[in-house]
Structure 1
């Protein structure tokens, strides 16, 4: 998936949030610590550094939501993070994004903090960023990983 294609998905999926631009995505993917996991109708960008994995962005096209795309992407990053020695996965979610909060709650993420008025929404108002964490165990590395890290990004 290209940065342009993912930017389009983000624009459709992030109804209240300001989506990333294709250039923002391309710049982020240039980091050697970033992994871009994709499905036909969704994607996930994560950074793996110093034993921690941080999900920077995840989006599924609205027409494909509630069909397992985000769950599959999340399962893949949990596997990759465990295989690379990470002990936890971190992410931020908008306080008003109740659907996303329920999604992460159901998968075991715990709230560890808040960044007040962190996000600027499309209408110009502010929303808190809730910091979430998921403790993970280490797993054996897959001999043929399906994720796309810095050296094997998908396009």
Structure 2
């Protein structure tokens, strides 16, 4: 993800997460930590390929924050027209590839307890529930299921051939998965 991706990301962000959408400033702040030596973030985007009705259109994005040997999935979002296509899995696989490059020993995330679709995706990659954060998502006071992946390097083996790497901007850093962290 680059600065020029923020406007289309905000459109999708507000559509998928209307009650707790990130602001422009939040994305700028995250991207500020995604470049150069000592970077601690990696954000990727998926764009529609040539031949698509809207070539180059943003189809999804995802972000990862790293602290020491621990990574946290900050967000995964896929345009609703592309749910069920494997794009969420490709974005997650890309984040796990970056977690491995950062030499992270484990990856954490939060997901709404009522978002079973996202939970199934995370289980498929080897994430296991380790706790609940009561009232984490507002409004609505919805609990978050905290999930952990012990070794991101091994998780990539769970991909299917259709879930190859996500297309992203060179050199960078699920389906409405509510992983805002």
Cα distance in 1, alignment partners of residues 140 and 67 from structure 2: 32
Equivalent residue number for residue 22 of structure 1: 24
Q: Which of the pair is proportionally richer in strand?
A: 1
TM-score (norm 1): 0.80
Equivalent residue number for residue 71 of structure 1: 89
Once the two structures are superposed, residues 79-112 of structure 1 have per-residue CA deviations (whole angstroms, 9 ceiling, x without a partner) of 2211221111111111121221122122211011
Cα distance in 1, alignment partners of residues 61 and 89 from structure 2: 11
- For structure 2, which runs of at least 5 residues remain unmatched after alignment? 34-38, 48-58, 155-168, 174-181
Equivalent residue number for residue 13 of structure 1: 16
Provide runs of 4+ in structure 1 moved above 6 Å. Answer: none
- For structure 1, which runs of at least 5 residues remain unmatched after alignment? 140-144, 150-155
Cα distance in 2, alignment partners of residues 38 and 147 from structure 1: 12
SS at match of 2:126: coil
Cα distance in 1, alignment partners of residues 113 and 127 from structure 2: 14
SS at match of 1:19: coil
TM-score (norm 2): 0.70
Equivalent residue number for residue 127 of structure 1: 142
**CA RMSD of superposed structures (Å):** 2.1
- For the Cα contact (< 8 Å) 2:136–2:144, is it kept in 1? yes
Q: 2:124 aligns with which of 106, 111, 124?
A: 106
Once the two structures are superposed, residues 46-66 of structure 1 have per-residue CA deviations (whole angstroms, 9 ceiling, x without a partner) of 112201111111100111111
Once the two structures are superposed, residues 99-131 of structure 1 have per-residue CA deviations (whole angstroms, 9 ceiling, x without a partner) of 2112212221101111101110xxx31101111
- For the Cα contact (< 8 Å) 1:10–1:61, is it kept in 2? no
Distance 1:137 1:47, change over 3 A: closer
Instruction: State the aligned residue count.
Output: 140
